[in-house]
Amino acid sequence: MFGDGGEVSLTMKYMNRFGCIGAACEENCCMDGWRIDVDRAHYDKLMAMAQFSAKPIARKFNATFIIVPKKNKKEPERYIIKQFEGGGCSLFDDGWCELHATFGYETLPHVCAFYPRKLKYVGETVELSATGSCPEVTRQIILHEDGVDLEPIDFSRVHRKVLQDGLDPRDTRPFFRTFIEVRGFVMELLREESLAWDERQFLMLWFSKRTTEVLSKAVPKADLSPVAREMELLRNPKVRHEITKRYAELQTPAALVLMVVRAIVRPKTKGIVRPKWNELTNGVINSYTRLAEMLPQSEDPAEHDRQAEASLREPQHMTTIEVWAEYRRRRDRIRAIPEVARTIDRCFKNYSIHTWFHRMPTEENDIITYTLRTLTQQSAMKFLLYSQVGLQDAVSELEAAAPEEREAVLAKVLDTVEKATVNVFYQIARHVEHGLLIKWLAEMLRKMEMFSAAGGVYLIHF
Ligand code: SF4
């Protein structure tokens, strides 16, 4: 039976520590405007329970669930929960769930009971992970050095079995057959403390570029020896050194900064209010003089894309170069404090390792696309993090501290940095990773001929 100890299971330490913090959460997932689909079994159960309840409860619950008629014969009808105007579950009440409070945990639809978790079979192994769009998950992933260490699932914390897409062991395409070994190799590379964080990413990129001809969904059969050879080569410190040396020289073009910011400000869904996201992104954008006027102005995603694409053909503004220079100045100033740089690198390292575990590379067409998309997401994270005026102020405070105060001020700065990083990471996961923005950004990079290994290097240097 599932979770009775007879199953081979795998998770990361952050998952065995995670628990929803409910009313203490800075941005409850229930209020984010996501469509909340109710599975048929829970819909039927809830309707039956509502019928036998007191009139006000019955009325309330009957009015809460919307039936979406089937579009064609093949599709079933769907059941969704009504939203507040501007987005948010209409059963959410001051940090608590009315459904949970009225009828108990068992009646929660799967999506409510299981978010942010993801349970999947990878071959014979059952794996548990969670999306970083939940701030508490992100905290558990990035704030503890051992957050992404692998270990068996603590089933006493998993109250439902809701399986999502996993890896079918019958798929014999090389990309699928080598998945576990390749993922293990990349995670090992990303953990390699003898290398700087950027160097580890160069090697990941190099490996993806060199193996993508084999590690692609389009390839039904292939000789796997080139993949094994690349892994062996990259375990050799001399080879690693040679490769990372080649990448160190490449300079990121200024135009990339504008592309990244355009993806960040791209509207998501009409009518959904995103106060935390707006506060974060407007705060950063307005801190760069004249950046706002260089961005597409439309609220309509299609019009935004048209304006952004048209601007690709415009001559480069002097201000793009100024923004790029200012961004680098802020980033380098923050990273000049070794303790801060180490903390930020640990956050990125843990998040990347978690991503390789949580999102299977086979979700993309090939390994290089997967790698470039993770690097693209990280460039947006870096921009929103390093640009923050609050971090610059914290650095100024540290610079002004007397030697005897330094330790205490540094502890405060590190705390500020960690909080800012959690804020940026979970919001990017929620508003960018969950949506189509990363895909859009990848498309833009393709048009600029940067969706390539060289483009990957620029993203790492970003
Ligand atoms: S975002 Fe995470 S911590 Fe916050 S309410 Fe949702 S599951 Fe709980």
Report d(CA 112, CA 38) in Å as an integer: 9
Please give the pLDDT value at position 313. Answer: 62
Asked if residue 25 has its Cβ within 6 Å of ligand 1, the reply is yes
Q: What are phi and psi of 9, to 5 degrees?
A: -130, 155
Q: Average per-residue pLDDT in the chain?
A: 89
Asked if residue 20 has its Cβ within 6 Å of ligand 1, the reply is yes
Assess whether pLDDT exceeds 80 at residue 400.
yes
Please give the pLDDT value at position 214. Answer: 96
Which amino acid is it at 109? P
Residue with the two structure tokens 């935390």: 276
Q: Buried (b) or exposed (e) across 122-131, using 16+ Cβ within 10 A?
A: beebbbbbbb
Q: What is the pLDDT of residues 68-114, one digit of tens each?
A: 888 888 888 899 999 888 788 999 887 788 888 888 888 899 999 99
Please give the pLDDT value at position 291. Answer: 65
The preferred substitution site among 18, 26, 29 for testing ligand 1, maximizing ligand atoms within 8 Å of CB, is: 29
Residue with the two structure tokens 């300079």: 251
Closest CA to 202 of 402, 462, 460: 460
**254 alpha-carbon distance from chain centroid:** 24
Q: What is the pLDDT of residues 154-199, one digit of tens each?
A: 999 988 888 988 888 889 999 999 999 999 999 999 999 999 999 9
If you measure from the C-alpha of residue 332 to the centroid of ligand 1, how many angstroms do you get, rounded to a whole number?
33
If you measure from the C-alpha of residue 284 to the centroid of ligand 1, how many angstroms do you get, rounded to a whole number?
25
- The conformation of residue 431, written as its DSSP 8-state character, comes to I
Mean pLDDT (whole number) for 436-450: 76
User: Residue 17: which residues within 8 A CB-CB, separation 6 or more?
Assistant: 140, 144, 147
Residue with the two structure tokens 């009828």: 103
pLDDT band at 391 (very low <50, low <70, confident <90, very high): very high
Range with lowest mean pLDDT among 25-29, 205-209, 367-371, 443-447:
443-447
Alpha carbon nearest to ligand 1 atom 7, residue: 20
Q: What is the pLDDT of residues 412-434, one digit of tens each?
A: 999 999 999 999 999 999 987 76
If you measure from the C-alpha of residue 22 to the centroid of ligand 1, how many angstroms do you get, rounded to a whole number?
6
Q: What is the pLDDT of residues 18-44, one digit of tens each?
A: 999 988 999 999 988 788 889 898 989
Alpha carbon nearest to ligand 1 atom 5, residue: 28
Please give the pLDDT value at position 5. Answer: 62
Domain boundaries, the chain: 9-157, 174-248, 255-461
Which amino acid is it at 70? K
CA angle, residues 257, 260, 261, in degrees to nearest 5: 85
Atom number of ligand 1 nearest to Cα 30: 6
Contact 459, 372 (CB under 8 A): yes
Report d(CA 411, CA 343) in Å as an integer: 11
Closest CA to 258 of 289, 292, 286, 283: 292
The radius of gyration of the chain's CA atoms, rounded to the nearest angstrom, is 24
Surface-to-core class of residue 72, CB atoms within 10 Å of its CB (0-12 exposed, 13-18 middle, 19+ buried):
exposed
Pair of tokens at residue 96: 């608590």
Atom number of ligand 1 nearest to Cα 137: 2
Atom number of ligand 1 nearest to Cα 116: 7
Contact 323, 288 (CB under 8 A): yes
